Amino acid sequence: MVLNKYKYSEMIITDHNFVVPLNYQDETGKKITIFAREVCRAEYRDKPLPYLIFFQGGPGYESPRPINNSGWIKRASEEYRILLFDQRGTGLSTPITKESIVGLSDEELASYLTFFRADNIVRDAEHVRDVLIKNKKWSVLGQSFGGFCATHYLSFYSNSLEKVFITGGLPPLNAHPDDIYRSTYKNVIKKNNLFFNTFPKARDNVQMIVEYLQKNQVHLPNGDILSAKRFQQLGLQLGFSDGMATLNYLLENAFINSKLSYAFLKNILSLQSFDTNPIFSVLHEACYAQNFATNWSAQRIINEFPEFLSNKGSDILFTGEMIYPWMFDEYQSLKPFKKAADILAKKSDWAVLYDQSNLLDNQVPVAAAVYTNDMYVDRVYSKKIAEAISNLNVWETDLMEHNALRSDGKVVLESLFKRIN
């Protein structure tokens, strides 16, 4: 169903809404809605361009909202009608928030959340494709976790695909999160070292902030307590091209009259979306799970890296995008998900997400960007699965970070397009 259509910034934007089953094994059961925003250059409105569906990173984040006709959207719209797809549970697709889960028991919530991984996201995409273009094929662009979705698509529905483009999102084929985190913790340490070497004053600023947090109970503007370990989670920024500078400038303005300023605390709140996008926190480890339980992998494996566990402000390192069980106590908006998250951490019968045999037989042209210094998606695992996907052309670069599609979208897409076209 078309909800809205309008022209903005030389783009024709059409908002679509689709009704799909929560559980595709029970199509007569509960329904949810899927929102997708179609973008077409105004000059091409009557031109029969093929579709390119975009899978956003995350998990748990909605598709980007086109503010203006620029970046990767501008480049892609030269050849495609773009479908900005809000994955189930995000944005306008029956979003999962603390408000939307009221009335569900912990067991019901855990069961409900099992339907929000890549497998069902791709089933939703197939439903949308059938409604929009019937038996025709379309192409896929997957960023980060969106690349995990694209790889699942290749594994099980390759006949629906014309081309696939993946940016910073070639997933581990079947690795356990324990091994993945052993690699990514090392990547985070490298980013910390680069950060503190680049901005020498940052170490002193971190020490002062941590020592203050250890001596005082500090509340963020929403009432949450800012603990030292929550402060460490600002390291999520270190893997973005603009993240280190953003963090440095945040730290240097922390104190006013020997107290942490409101502006500093508000900026921390704005940089941490673990609670505003709860799927990211609840299902982050589960997006790797295939017939095994994760059992709070990041929390267990951090004990192998004492560098992150120091209580001395001068030795504090920032962590990355890892999820820890203590977050469901310290983030108020995550508290309603605590017991369900624990149930899911112990779940061992997750479905297989990638079919190695099908990937080896793949006939769909695929181009993937691998970022050598990626802090979030480890290049070793990306290169390993690349060897298992036939008809895949890898472009690896050490000149860009994980967010390159956002920061240098035109360059990234042109580099991938020319590897297939």
Active site residue 349: yes
* pLDDT for the residue numbered 70: 82
- Where exactly does CATH 3.40.50.1820 map onto the chain? 2-173+354-417
Whether the predicted pLDDT of 397 surpasses 80? yes
Summarised one tens digit per residue, pLDDT across range 30-63 is 999 999 999 999 998 888 999 999 999 999 999 9
Whether the predicted pLDDT of 421 surpasses 80? no
In the set 119, 402, 408, 415, the catalytic residue is 402
Active site residue 398: no
Split at pLDDT 50, 70, 90, the class of 243 is very high
* pLDDT for the residue numbered 198: 98
- Look over the chain and give the mean of its residue pLDDT values, rounded to a whole number: 96
Percentage of the chain exceeding pLDDT 70: 100
Q: For 2-173+354-417, CATH number?
A: 3.40.50.1820
Which stretch of 67-81, 123-137, 175-189 has the lowest confidence by average pLDDT?
Answer: 67-81
Summarised one tens digit per residue, pLDDT across range 313-333 is 778 999 999 999 999 999 999
Selected residue with higher pLDDT from 366 and 46: 366
In the set 77, 93, 139, 144, the catalytic residue is 144
In the set 46, 258, 349, 357, the catalytic residue is 349
* pLDDT for the residue numbered 312: 80
Summarised one tens digit per residue, pLDDT across range 116-168 is 999 999 999 999 999 999 999 999 999 999 999 999 999 999 999 999 999 99
* pLDDT for the residue numbered 45: 86
Which stretch of 4-18, 176-190, 230-244 has the lowest confidence by average pLDDT?
Answer: 4-18
* pLDDT for the residue numbered 310: 85
3-class secondary structure for the chain? CEEEEEEECCEEEEEEEEEEECCCCCCCCCEEEEEEEEEEEHHHCCCCCCEEEEECCCCCCCCCCCCCCCHHHHHHCCCCEEEEECCCCCCCCCCCCCCCCCCCCHHHHHHHHCCCCHHHHHHHHHHHHHHHHCCCCEEEEEECHHHHHHHHHHHHCHHHEEEEEEECCCCCCCCCHHHHHHHHHHHHHHHHHHHHHHCCHHHHHHHHHHHHHHHCCCECCCCCECCHHHHHHHHHHHHCCCHHHHHHHHHHCCEECCEECHHHHHHHHHHCCCCCCHHHHHHCHHHHCCCCCCCCHHHHHHHHCHHHCCCCHHHCCCCCCCCCCCHHHHCHHHHHHHHHHHHHHHCCCCCCCCCHHHHHCCCCCEEEEEECCCCCCCHHHHHHHHCCCCCEEEEEECCCCCCHHHHCHHHHHHHHHCCCC
Active site residue 144: yes
Split at pLDDT 50, 70, 90, the class of 2 is confident
* pLDDT for the residue numbered 329: 97
